[in-house]
Structure 1
Amino acid sequence: MATNFTEIIKNQSVLSNKQKINIIIQLSIPTILSQISSILMQYIDAAMVGHLGPDASASIGIVSTSSWLLSGLCSAMATSFAVQVAQLIGASQYEKARRTFKTALITSLIFSCILLIIGVLVNQSLLTWLGADPAIFDNASAYFLVFTLSLPILQLNSLCSSMLQCSGNMKIPSLLNASMCGLDVIYNLIFIHYFGVVGAAIGTALAQLTVCFINLWYTTCHSSLLKFQNHEKFYLEKETLKNAFQIGTPLAFEHIAICGAMVMSTKIIAPLGTIAIAAHSFAITAESLCYMPGYGLEAAATTLVGQCMGAQRKELAKSFSNLTVAFGAIIMGIIAIVMFVISPFVFQILTPDVQTQQLATEVLRIELFAEPLYGVSIVASGALRGAGDTLIPSLLNLLSIWGVRLSLSVLFVQTMGLHGVWLAMCIELCVRGLLLLYRQQRGQWLEKSL
């Protein structure tokens, strides 16, 4: 598949809309299926922990945004090199693509180890700052510590998956992610039984470690475009590191801004009590089922736009970006309608606590109205990223989430409680979608070059 669509992009002068749609579907479906399995893993994790009681769910919920911040930074590092690889493959510079991958391995490991050290150092003070209830402090601290120690493994998985996806190989990362979800369930059944909340973190870390070995082996030894060649010399290239910095820095600040805002949201929600924290955490888990197609299409958009830009086919890049953005809005809108109907049943599976079920259903239904534009923001970001355009989109995200979501959350929570926080989220996601759609449609990103 990788070779087929890569050769089509480089050699076929005109592509019909049917051909474009077929390529998008073939690239998106494996990643979407992977997202489904990943979401199912989150549901199973949440359900397993949820049956330990609201305090157990709140223990994970209070640190979830901080965990996303660190994993998001790992993702930004992976993307900063994967985009370069996509464009190099599009330009048929395969040896340089492999050198870029090698550089990424070294740089990413160093980066993730630095994050590990920071996470360990701030563990206790972070929970104090977030205002964690003393009843959940120990469990939350232990969960976050295990997660932090697994960051180098998470980084390697993210990097190898991103590299394979940007080379056009969506199937292997998807299969490995699905396998990781299955392993996570098995490990959780064992470790949650013996260690409670922290067992969920241990199970996930071991599942990631198992898959990491396979992922790394396949990418370096078996990938048709990325596997290491004995005769090829390796050396760090200043240009590669410079490009990675230019692409990755805005993405890193974007993740810091978004997750930092989520941490602030957690701090805003914390005084509302354990039920509110648990409901908020469960609602986020349930909502993730709605945006999984968006992230599948985002990966396809990044790959297609990156390879088109590398092949100097800018009009084709714009066409692929338009189609993927439209698909993202339509599919996420349809899933939001379904989730609106089934959300009470979803929360009955995730937690036995009736108060938590009711509150989670109410707040999630508020946010579901924003899903189509949320889909636009996700896929448009992926398309722009494929061209190396990360600075302006990151600034737009920063403006939206800090200028709209947080300010409205502080205003609405006073009178509406958790409902107000989710109303602010709904409004902000709509604003974000419109801002990124405007950026994508203007087409200035087509002039970007690495």
Structure 2
Amino acid sequence: MQTTAKRNEIKLLRKEILRLAWPTILEMLSGTVIWVVDTAMVGHLSAEALSAVGLGSHLAYSSAFIFGALGVGTTAMVSRFIGSKEIEKANFITGQSFIISALLGFAVFLINFTFAQNLILLFTRDIKVVELGTVYLKIASAGAAFYIAAMVLNSALRGAGNTIIPMYSVAIANIVNIAGDYLLIFGNFGFPRWEVKGAAVATAVAQVLCFLITAFYLFYGKGNLKMKLKYIKKLDIEIIKKLVILSIPASLEEISFNVSRLISTQWLNRLGTLSYAAHQVSVSAESISFMPGYAFSVAASTVVGQSLGAKDEKRAEKGSIEATKLAAILMSMVGIAFFLIPDKIINFFTDIPQVESLSTVCIKIAAFEQTTIAISMTLSGALKGAGNTQGPFSVVLISTWLIRLPLIFLVIFVFKKGLEYVWISTVVQYFFEALLMYALFKKGEWKKIKL
């Protein structure tokens, strides 16, 4: 009887995890589609336009992702209070998170708008790219401000166990973005042909819409989580401090990722244009596999937070393990595809023979890191859901700065090896990252964190 009861418990837990995860996978898929379509449309203008949009969007949305990490603390606190049935406290956290996100969004807009040209000049001296990039960044930064608020509010909803509304808000915004691109980049159906400016306007409008959909639901929807005016009229310093302390490691993790990527990009350029192009194609192809990893990370975060709020540590641990298993199974299946049909996957991204040949080797190597990425991502989400944001940050810091970057440096500058050895370095990185994340999880200290 006990065995049957346990099986039923696990079955219900898996069902809950899948309910939380699948909308997040679709949300990420829609984001990937918009990225591909956006790039394709701008790519029909000119190389300068493509570079300008790439630089402008990177500057606008890197800062948005850094400050949007406030959502990590929001998810942890909202899920904890939902689990303990303290709904008004969860509502209060949502209101306070919105105030901070609005202030941060305005700061991002102000800085990017005021110093747009100077920021673009840090990356290029091409006059045309600087001109177009400045226009794009000024407009896109307005959308990025709303995007920060949308990310934080969607994080609150996920903490409450609602991943459907975030999926809808992002998907609808992406559809509007594609339509806006088609109309405003090329001037179709009588609309003005704004080209790069049109791409920026379409993106900004889409991000504003994403925020409005989520905010409208929180004010007027039928869910258990509400955003009430009385909770956004004034700041509670103690709550703000708690949210910021929880979120700072996640922000630093995002900064660390961007800085390390910048360094590795400079090193990879030493391998030549073809190798760098092959690396970019391989990264784009591998990003497909991250969707289930991120989705189950979100699910684990919510299940852990709510379970700890309900004083059910066993469910929190079981939920983390089950989410990790499901993520590992799905990402391993993608890994098998990477190994067996790498050429078919790479063909979707490029038809340049030399680039295709090298990318095929890289994506085949990437097959061996899919399971460890799944373990690392999902357990990181579980730990963050418990309020342990410092631990995952420390693990990623070690795996990136003490393993990945030194290995890449040795490969390129000491052993003078090619791109395929760089990708072997990342396999090693993720193996140790998964090992460290699992060790941190098994210590169990996250179960005792008070929020």
Classify the TM-score, shorter chain: 0.7 to 0.9
What's the offset of the Cα at 1:281?
3.3
Q: Does 348-357 or 52-61 show the bigger shift?
A: 52-61
CA offset digits 1:141-192 (Å, max 9, x no partner): 5555544342211112111211111111111111222222222222222344
| Contact 1:381–1:393 under 8 Å retained in 2 | yes
Distance 2:45 2:344 in 1: 19
Q: Give the structure 1 partner of residue 417 of structure 2.
A: 416
What's the offset of the Cα at 1:234?
5.7
Matched, 1:368 2:370: no
CA offset digits 1:82-101 (Å, max 9, x no partner): 32111111111111211111
| Contact 1:51–1:352 under 8 Å retained in 2 | no
Q: Which has the larger radius of gyration?
A: 2
Q: Does 385-394 or 39-48 show the bigger shift?
A: 39-48
After superposition, residues 37-436 of structure 1 pair within 5 angstroms as: 37-50=30-43, 69-120=62-113, 143-193=136-186, 194=193, 199-229=198-228, 235-272=234-271, 275-351=274-350, 353-414=352-413, 415-436=416-437
2:17 to 6, 15, 24: 24
Report the CA distance shift for 1:191/1:229 in structure 2 as closer, same or farther (over 3 A). Answer: closer
Q: Does 386-395 or 112-121 show the bigger shift?
A: 112-121
Distance 1:233 1:120 in 2: 26
| Contact 2:60–2:137 under 8 Å retained in 1 | yes
What runs of 5+ residues in structure 2 fail to find an aligned partner?
187-192
User: C-alpha root-mean-square deviation of aligned residues, in Å?
Assistant: 3.1
What's the offset of the Cα at 1:431?
2.0
Distance 2:272 2:130 in 1: 14
| Contact 2:99–2:232 under 8 Å retained in 1 | no
| Contact 2:339–2:365 under 8 Å retained in 1 | no
| Contact 1:405–1:425 under 8 Å retained in 2 | yes
Q: Give the structure 2 partner of residue 4 of structure 1.
A: none
What's the offset of the Cα at 1:229?
4.9
| Contact 1:81–1:244 under 8 Å retained in 2 | yes
Q: Which letter maps to 2:237?
A: K
Report the CA distance shift for 1:204/1:386 in structure 2 as closer, same or farther (over 3 A). Answer: same
Q: Does 174-183 or 248-257 show the bigger shift?
A: 174-183
Distance 2:194 2:228 in 1: 44
| Contact 2:75–2:159 under 8 Å retained in 1 | yes
Distance 2:42 2:217 in 1: 33
What's the offset of the Cα at 1:343?
4.4
Distance 1:61 1:447 in 2: 44
Q: Which letter maps to 1:429?
A: Y
What's the offset of the Cα at 1:331?
1.0
Report the CA distance shift for 1:198/1:278 in structure 2 as closer, same or farther (over 3 A). Answer: farther
| Contact 1:54–1:275 under 8 Å retained in 2 | no
Q: Give the structure 2 partner of residue 439 of structure 1.
A: 440
| Contact 1:43–1:350 under 8 Å retained in 2 | no
Distance 2:161 2:272 in 1: 46
What's the offset of the Cα at 1:394?
0.6
Distance 2:428 2:128 in 1: 34
CA offset digits 1:225-252 (Å, max 9, x no partner): 2224578896532331121122111111
Report the CA distance shift for 1:229/1:402 in structure 2 as closer, same or farther (over 3 A). Answer: closer
What's the offset of the Cα at 1:129?
5.2
CA offset digits 1:34-69 (Å, max 9, x no partner): 222222222333444456677766666667765663
What's the offset of the Cα at 1:378?
0.9
| Contact 1:305–1:321 under 8 Å retained in 2 | yes
What's the offset of the Cα at 1:290?
0.6
Distance 2:423 2:288 in 1: 17
Q: Does 24-33 or 188-197 show the bigger shift?
A: 188-197
Distance 2:418 2:288 in 1: 24
Report the CA distance shift for 1:179/1:346 in structure 2 as closer, same or farther (over 3 A). Answer: farther
What runs of 5+ residues in structure 1 fail to find an aligned partner?
1-11
Distance 2:112 2:54 in 1: 17
Tell me the SS of whatever aligns to 1:28.
helix
Distance 1:181 1:233 in 2: 28
Report the CA distance shift for 1:173/1:449 in structure 2 as closer, same or farther (over 3 A). Answer: same
Distance 2:55 2:267 in 1: 11
For normalisation by structure 2, the TM-score amounts to 0.86
Distance 2:242 2:212 in 1: 28
Q: Does 211-220 or 415-424 show the bigger shift?
A: 415-424
Distance 1:132 1:354 in 2: 31
Q: Does 323-332 or 264-273 show the bigger shift?
A: 264-273
Distance 1:27 1:151 in 2: 26
| Contact 1:94–1:225 under 8 Å retained in 2 | yes
Higher RCO (CA-CA < 8 Å; seq separation 6+): 1
What's the offset of the Cα at 1:373?
0.7
CA offset digits 1:271-322 (Å, max 9, x no partner): 5555555443333222221110111111111111111111111111111011
What's the offset of the Cα at 1:200?
4.3
- % identical equivalent positions: 28
What's the offset of the Cα at 1:329?
1.5
Report the CA distance shift for 1:280/1:249 in structure 2 as closer, same or farther (over 3 A). Answer: same
Distance 1:62 1:192 in 2: 18
For normalisation by structure 1, the TM-score amounts to 0.86
What's the offset of the Cα at 1:256?
1.0
What's the offset of the Cα at 1:371?
1.3
| Number of aligned residue pairs | 439
Q: Does 186-195 or 318-327 show the bigger shift?
A: 186-195
